[in-house]
Amino acid sequence: MDTTLLTINNVWMMLCTALVFFMHLGFSLVEIGFTRQKNAINILFKNVFIISIGLILYALIGFNLMYPGSFIGGVMPDYFINLFGLSLPENGLTPAYASGGYTYYTDFLFQGMFAATAATIVSGAVAERIKLGSFMLFTLFYVGLVYPIAGSWQWGGGFLSSLGNQVNELGETIKEAGFYDFAGSTLVHSVGGWAALIAVWLLGSRIGKFRKSGKTGALPGHNVPLATAGVLILWLGWFGFNGGSVLSAEPGATSLVLVTTCLAAASGGLTAFMVSFTKYKTYDLSMFLNGILGGLVGITAGADQMGITNAIVIGAVAGVIIVFGIAFLDKVKLDDPVGAIPVHLFCGIWGTLAVGIFGKMASWEQLGYQVIGIVAVGIFCLLTSFAILFTIKKTVGLRVSKQEELEGLDIHEHGMDAYPDFRLNQH
Amino acid sequence: MDTTLLTINNVWMMLCTALVFFMHLGFSLVEIGFTRQKNAINILFKNVFIISIGLILYALIGFNLMYPGSFIGGVMPDYFINLFGLSLPENGLTPAYASGGYTYYTDFLFQGMFAATAATIVSGAVAERIKLGSFMLFTLFYVGLVYPIAGSWQWGGGFLSSLGNQVNELGETIKEAGFYDFAGSTLVHSVGGWAALIAVWLLGSRIGKFRKSGKTGALPGHNVPLATAGVLILWLGWFGFNGGSVLSAEPGATSLVLVTTCLAAASGGLTAFMVSFTKYKTYDLSMFLNGILGGLVGITAGADQMGITNAIVIGAVAGVIIVFGIAFLDKVKLDDPVGAIPVHLFCGIWGTLAVGIFGKMASWEQLGYQVIGIVAVGIFCLLTSFAILFTIKKTVGLRVSKQEELEGLDIHEHGMDAYPDFRLNQH
Amino acid sequence: MDTTLLTINNVWMMLCTALVFFMHLGFSLVEIGFTRQKNAINILFKNVFIISIGLILYALIGFNLMYPGSFIGGVMPDYFINLFGLSLPENGLTPAYASGGYTYYTDFLFQGMFAATAATIVSGAVAERIKLGSFMLFTLFYVGLVYPIAGSWQWGGGFLSSLGNQVNELGETIKEAGFYDFAGSTLVHSVGGWAALIAVWLLGSRIGKFRKSGKTGALPGHNVPLATAGVLILWLGWFGFNGGSVLSAEPGATSLVLVTTCLAAASGGLTAFMVSFTKYKTYDLSMFLNGILGGLVGITAGADQMGITNAIVIGAVAGVIIVFGIAFLDKVKLDDPVGAIPVHLFCGIWGTLAVGIFGKMASWEQLGYQVIGIVAVGIFCLLTSFAILFTIKKTVGLRVSKQEELEGLDIHEHGMDAYPDFRLNQH
């Protein structure tokens, strides 16, 4: 193993880890920006809780559960998480990958930052009406168990990763096609998105969102500048999310990934803006912002597989999906305050399919494997999130009281006001 | 070519690219912070539009136009932007520079992030009164054509880069002096600044800015904390803007550049604060912030050429320029809400001249070449920006209606309010 | 010396420097978020002043004073700060450390970013009532002299660093135990914390904080979202603060440091939330946030010495300290608006002690040296900060007038309002 290359790879992966960590600020700002002032503290609390508990759970359970793909086991605990011995694990610097990889510490932290993301996606969709304690309970199970189990199927060497494996005459495993999800359009974003869908359905819509008259009520977010800042921070974070998913600093792959990621984001935003302008005759900043996020989620499954044009096309389709996806959710009366479901679920599915359409291995067979992966993860997430959330609903309850919802969760659950110095409008 | 060195250089350049991307959040926050609440969404929309369209245009036109300096052509398209073939450009990892450089993908993305900056500078100066559609039209031409053409003159091997070239008796090209602009005091900041000047002149001042009584009206920005955050984010981004302009991770040059950049920023801020305190007897945070930005723009042309003291002096002069520049614009009744012209144009000119005064090649001859570069780029930008903006003014129009300006562009163009939960003061 | 390794180390250190710089935005947002709207500009002004003057002072005095440990002298000035010669110091790229280190320029900038931190810590504690000019005067002395002198005792090769040195029979210096402060729980955070304690005591509490009735008045911060953003930015910055304190990119050490840092932060936040929930029956976001910061300060002294469990335990204890520390300060009627003293002083002391309890060299002897270091630095900082602040109090005065405090420092010292477009509540 080349020490110098190990050092470079490790530097790159650590900085990508920092960028993915920073995405949690991005999510926080998007979520509070697109919701009302009276619930801002509640949402911020959920977000700092998620990243904190996410890392601790990933150290205690998730990392071992996800890699090497076997339930609580494998070789890693022996030399990595020496949890009950209060001594320094001496060989934590053992590189995670054979030739010039990076350390297990870096591997843990990079993957740990991903783990918390799934719950953050749900957080936005259920904003302004879920009980804090119930959400925290859900997070424990979803981040601690569901995310790493689903992840282990592909990234931990599980059954999804062996789809399409064939043995040739020499007894070697070869692969012409198989499920591919570069940085997690399905394994991260859809995992969050499916649970968001179930949660929004079980919770019901916010008071005032869907009026008896059949009209959709306007419940505008309270701080568009912070939402915009959040989206730009998420875009920045995606440099690490996708760039780090190369799992090395290999120059060709990492720089291609950054180019496709940025072009898809740009294309997604521009397309969502243009489509929504055509449809609604207004320059809708929220659509532009969600289009950027949709483009980012869309490119995530195949960021290393695409050329310039592919990336622009994938982003553009994601932008269209955003505009019609948001309209569709309103039509079926599912209340997703921040657009988490169109961004992470719909564009997550699109991005995963796009690998079978535009990727280097594009073929009908490849597309079939992509569908298998989407469906397998989807069924698992739908079942587990339903089981967790339905149990919570029937026991401690999911939704705050009507009075609490009207007056705001901040005062009721936190005894605080996000901006006590400012007078508020009633609406 | 050394793979290891290529990898390190590429990591550095990719992270600098991420930092330059992040500057777009900085610009957004500075611009909304220093303007009124009723136009915040409009300004944010312009900024996310600029970075998105900027990257797409740079992929389609700009990159080829700017490098290698010939109009739509050269060798790059063959192996980089395989735009209409939906396949992965196999050799995009071909390093951009002969010995241990970085990949063309990285080169494209780093330069693409720069391209959008020119339009962003204009965005601040024309805030609160320009028609959104007209501004977007201007951006298409200025980012798609003007910026890359001006850039090609120096960075693409054009005529500015060959100024001062001499042939010695052996037939080799030698150079004792010549136009030098390290990271773009002229080629980025002034390019934006000249257009800002023309735009502000053609647009006229905001209602209430220059009163009949001869007094300058106070139109204070609505969110100073966000403006401050924006300036600190821009300073951070300048680590990448100047640090990446070394075009490698060479330790001596990159670290010198970061030191001179930070010292000039600090010195610019402190000087602007002290001069404005002496002049106006108040601790003016806006002056401090614009002084920091002025120092950053000032050092940009010669960040790799200066020692500690030079950097501090260059920043200090920039700080003085900011205070008197802002007063001067008020005097000649040019309304630049965020101070974009003093920061980017005046300090851009100063920084370019400073290379001839303090730089390693400082001489009267060198100073002369600096003036030639400033004037050549200035004339080109004045003419092109006038042509574009005057045509727009005479056709679709540049300025929103009086009613729209008074009530705010957010409600009229976007049908949204940046902070709907908060009551507003009238002023 | 290996050029390649030098380049990698230097890239890592430069990016860590950028992250530590970014902490100044984190501090700014935490401080304004947790205080009232009427003093926001004043606090922002202090913060941009601190980072600016901090860098300039560190170039002029601090760097030479702190390294190599002798007062104004040593070898460094000869080839680094060629302050009065306006030429480029040619050999600034001389690596700072013998084998594959990084350049002196990088060393200067990384250390310079640290230097300003001490004053920033004080800034939060004295918010809303200190005279701006007096604070700036204090900063000059504390950042210019006190911080580098205290730092030189350990990091500059001074007496603290030689504690526990023994000479063996071969005449070689060996060391079984000695004062250890990896990234500055004592040398940075406590240095700020002790001065904060003296300043808060000399200043007195804000009007309305401690009522005659014996009840503690609620003076809630005005912008909790910005405070939360600040804490997440600080956490991000700590990747550089602790990660860069390895002083190389050595993969095992740097990645371990990031893991312990993040786990301590997470654990600190969760514990502070749970303890405060038990104590006060409310989900207190401020406690969660300060718990995160406490965990970060706590791990700072031994981030390279700890295993997974140790980091979680150190963070948890820090979380407990935060909750009881804040209650304790209220009890003894010391008014620290942002919790700077519990975070930086109490957790700084805890973190330094933890090295003697959990670190690789943990022993009673090691614990004793940790106490010596804490006490030595504490006495020095208490005496010097008292001398500076008491002199200021008796001459120009420390505290603003009652009218200014009630109406806000922003209007009186800056003639500006942070959010002029928004109506305010009176409280």
Residue of C nearest to A102 (CA): C251
Which site among B52, B55, B132, B416 would you substitute to test the A interface, given the most A Cβ atoms closer than 10 Å to its Cβ? B52
Contact at CB, C307 and A82, closer than 8 angstroms: yes
- The residues, ordered by sequence, that sit 6+ positions from C247 with a Cβ below 8 Å of its Cβ are C13, C97, C101, C102
Q: What is the pLDDT of residues C366-408, one digit of tens each?
A: 999 999 999 999 999 999 999 999 999 999 999 999 999 999 9
Structure tokens belonging to residue A305 = 């597989």
Q: Which residues of C touch B266 (CB under 8 A)?
A: 51-56
Three-state DSSP class for residue C213:
coil
Backbone phi, then psi, for A130, in 5-degree steps? -90, 145
d(CA C61, nearest CA chain B) in Å: 13
Whether residues B312 and C59 touch (CB distance < 8 A) is answered with yes
The tokens describing B411, both together, are 């409600």
Mean pLDDT of A297-312: 92
| Residue A46: per-residue pLDDT | 97
Query: Is some CB atom of chain C closer than 8 A to the CB atom of B228?
Result: yes
How many angstroms separate the CA atoms of C339 and C287, rounded? 10
Which of A248, A10, A3, A6 has its CA nearest to residue A106? Answer: A10
- Contact state of A255 with B223 under an 8 Å Cβ cutoff: no
Q: With CB atoms and an 8 Å threshold, state whether A421 touches C425.
A: yes
Measured CA to CA, the distance from residue C362 to residue C353 in angstroms comes to: 10
Any bridge partners for residue A216, and if so which? A210
Task: State the average pLDDT for chain C.
Answer: 89
Q: Is the pLDDT of residue A33 over 90?
A: yes
Å from C121 to nearest chain B CA? Answer: 18
Q: What is the mean pLDDT of residues B11-28?
A: 97
Of B11, B45, B413, the CB nearest to A11: B11
Separation in Å, CA of A52 to nearest CA in chain B: 25
Contacts of A359 (CB under 8 A, 6+ apart): A180, A302, A305, A306, A366
In chain A, which residue's Cα lies nearest the Cα of C8? Answer: A8
Residues C294, C180, C139: CA angle, nearest 5 degrees: 60
B79 touches chain A (CB under 8 A): no
- Virtual torsion, Cα B61, B64, B65, B67, nearest 10 deg: 150
User: Do residue B49 and residue A225 have CB atoms under 8 angstroms apart?
Assistant: no
A95 touches chain C (CB under 8 A): yes
CB contact under 8 A, C421 and B423: no
B186, B161 in Cβ contact below 8 A? no
CA nearest to B91, candidates B104, B109, B75? B104
Q: CB–CB of C218/C276 below 8 Å?
A: no
Do B254 and C14 count as a contact with CB atoms less than 8 A apart? yes
* CB distance A335 to A205 below 8 Å: yes
> Beta A165-167 vs A173-175: how paired, if at all?
antiparallel
Any CB–CB contact under 8 A between C97 and chain B? Answer: no
Kindly provide the b/e burial profile for residues C297-313, where b requires at least 16 CB atoms within 10 angstroms of the residue's own CB. Answer: bbbbbbbbbbbbbbbbb
Predicted confidence band at C1 (pLDDT cuts at 50, 70, 90)? low
Task: State the distance between the two ends of chain A, measured CA to CA, in whole angstroms.
Answer: 63
Can you give the pLDDT at residue B214?
58
Q: Which chains touch B (3 or more CB pairs under 8 A)?
A: A, C
Nearest to C357 by CA among C344, C366, C369: C366
Q: B337 at the C interface (CB within 8 A)?
A: no
Q: Hey, is the C-beta of C199 within 8 angstroms of any chain A C-beta?
A: no
* Percentage above 70 pLDDT, chain A: 90
B residues 367..396 contacting C (CB < 8 A) = none
Chain C residues whose CB is inside 8 A of the B250 CB are: 7
Q: Which residues in A lie closer than 8 A to residue B59 (C-beta atoms)? A: 263, 308, 312
> How far is the alpha carbon of C155 from chain A, nearest alpha carbon, in Å?
24
* Distance in angstroms (rounded) separating the CA atoms of residues B18 and B26: 13
Q: What is the mean pLDDT of residues A198-227?
A: 87
Q: Of B385, B345, B423, nearest to B137 (Cα)?
A: B385
Per-residue pLDDT band for A89 (boundaries 50, 70, 90) equals very low
The pTM (predicted TM-score) of the whole model is 0.95
Under 8 Å between Cβ of B240 and B19: yes
Mutant choice from C52, C53, C61, C94 vs B, greatest count of B C-beta within 10 A: C52
Q: How many CB atoms lie within 10 A of CB A99?
A: 11
Percent of chain C at pLDDT exceeding 70 = 90
Q: Whose CA is closest to C76, among C56, C51, C98, C105?
A: C105
Q: How far is B92 from chain A (nearest CA, A)?
A: 7
For residues A306-321, give the mean pLDDT. 93
Chain A residues inside the 8 Å CB shell of C239: 14, 17-18, 21
Query: What's the confidence (pLDDT) of residue C170?
Result: 84
Report helix, strand or coil for C68. coil
Mean local confidence (pLDDT), A1-5: 77
What sign has the CA pseudo-torsion C146, C149, C153, C156? positive
Angle formed at CA B24 by CA B20 and CA B26, multiple of 5 degrees: 100
**Helix (H) / strand (E) containing B238:** helix B224-243
3-state secondary structure of A174: strand
Is the CB of residue A418 less than 8 Å away from at least one CB of chain B?
no
Residues A265, B174: Cα–Cα separation, whole Å: 44
Query: C78 CB contacts (<8 Å, ≥6 apart)?
Result: none
Look at residue A59 in the predicted model and tell me its pLDDT.
Answer: 85
pLDDT tens for each residue of C219-249 = 889 999 999 999 999 999 999 999 999 999 9
With beta carbons less than 8 A apart as the criterion, state whether B103 and B5 touch: no
Confidence band of B86 (pLDDT split at 50, 70, 90): very low
Closest chain C residue to the Cα of B289, Cα to Cα:
C48
**Is C253 an 8 Å CB contact of chain B?**
no
Q: From the candidates B43, B271, B283, which should be mutated to test the interface with C, based on the most C CB atoms within 10 A?
A: B283
pLDDT of residue B308: 84
Partner C contacted by A21 (CB < 8 A): yes
Q: Is C166 on the interface with A (CB under 8 A)?
A: no
- Whether residue B168 lies within 8 A of chain C, CB to CB, comes out as no
Strands B173-175 and B165-167: antiparallel
Helical ranges in B126-223 per DSSP H:
132-141, 147-154, 159-162, 191-203
Judged by CB atoms closer than 8 Å, whether chains meet at C422 and B422 is answered as yes
Q: Spell out the alpha helix ranges (H) of C80-161.
A: 104-125, 132-141, 147-154
Cis amide leading into C342 (omega within 30): no
C51 interfaces chain B, CB cutoff of 8 Å: yes
| Residues 6+ positions from A300 with CB-CB distance below 8 Å | A182, A183, A184, A185, A188, A189, A238, A241, A242, A261, A348, A351
> Which residue among A270, A285, A419 sits closest to B416, beta carbon to beta carbon?
A285
Helices (H), B60-130: 63-66, 76-79, 104-125
Distance of alpha carbon B6 from alpha carbon B15, whole angstroms: 14
B225/C418 Cβ within 8 A: yes
Q: How far is C6 from chain B (nearest CA, A)?
A: 7
Task: Please give the Cα distance from C355 to C299 (Å, whole number).
Answer: 9
Nearest to B239 among C18, C83, C415 (CB): C18
Compute the nearest-CA separation of C239 from chain B (Å).
15
Return the half-sphere exposure (C-beta side, CA atoms, 13 A cut-off) of residue B88: 21
Q: How far is B406 from chain A (nearest CA, A)?
A: 19
CA dist C92 to C48, C74, C103, C345, Å? 27, 16, 7, 36
pLDDT confidence band for C171 (50 / 70 / 90): confident
User: Does the pLDDT at position B330 exceed 80?
Assistant: yes
Burial class (CB in 10 A: 0-12, 13-18, 19+), A171: exposed
The answer to whether residue C190 scores a pLDDT higher than 80 is yes
Backbone angles phi, psi at B347, to 5 degrees: -75, -25
Lookup: tokens for C67: 């390294």
How many angstroms separate the CA atoms of B95 and B82, rounded? 17
**Percent helix, strand and coil across chain A, each to the nearest 5:** 65, 5, 30
| Both structure tokens of C157 | 């090769």
Tokens at residue C365, please?
């002897």
- Among B417-426, C30-39, C132-141, which stretch is predicted with the lowest mean pLDDT? B417-426
Q: Does A352 touch chain C (CB under 8 A)?
A: no
Q: What is the pLDDT of residues A98-154, one digit of tens each?
A: 455 788 888 889 999 999 888 899 999 999 999 999 999 999 999 999 999 999 898
By C-alpha distance, which of C204, C211, C207, C208 is closest to C334? C204
Check CB contact under 8 Å for C258 and A40: no
Mean pLDDT on B295-311: 93
Chain A residues within an 8 Å CB radius of C310: 86, 88
| C-beta separation of A382 from A356 below 8 A | no
DSSP, collapsed to helix, strand or coil, labels residue B37 as helix
pLDDT in the model for residue A79: 37
Q: A288 and A295 in contact (C-beta within 8 Å)?
A: no
**In this complex, how many residue pairs, one in chain A and one in chain C, have their CB atoms less than 8 Å apart?**
193
Q: Which of A15, A28, A423 sits opposite C15 (nearest CB)?
A: A15
The CA distance from A201 to A386, in Å, is: 10
Predicted pLDDT at C172: 82
Q: A360, exposed or middle or buried, with CB in 10 Å at 0-12, 13-18, 19+?
A: middle
- The span from the CA of B327 to the CA of B272, in Å, is 12
Q: Among residues B312, B420, B341, which one has the least CA distance to residue C56? A: B312
Neighbours of chain A (3+ CB pairs under 8 A): B, C
Nearest CA-CA distance, residue B326 and chain A, Å: 26
Average confidence (pLDDT) over A356-376: 93
Report the amino acid identity of residue A63. Answer: F
Contact assignment for B256 to C93 by CB distance below 8 Å: yes
Residues of chain C contacting A100 with CB distance shorter than 8 Å = none
Share of chain B above pLDDT 90, in %: 70
Burial bucket for residue C364 (CB in 10 Å: 0-12, 13-18, 19+): exposed
pLDDT, tens digit (0-9, with 9 covering 90-100), for B47-63: 999 999 999 998 888 88
The residues pairing with C216 across neighbouring beta strands, listed in sequence order, are C210
Q: Does A27 touch chain C (CB under 8 A)?
A: no
Question: What length is written for chain C?
Answer: 427
Using the beta-carbon criterion (under 8 Å), do A229 and B28 form an inter-chain contact?
Answer: yes
Tell me the ipTM for this assembly: 0.94
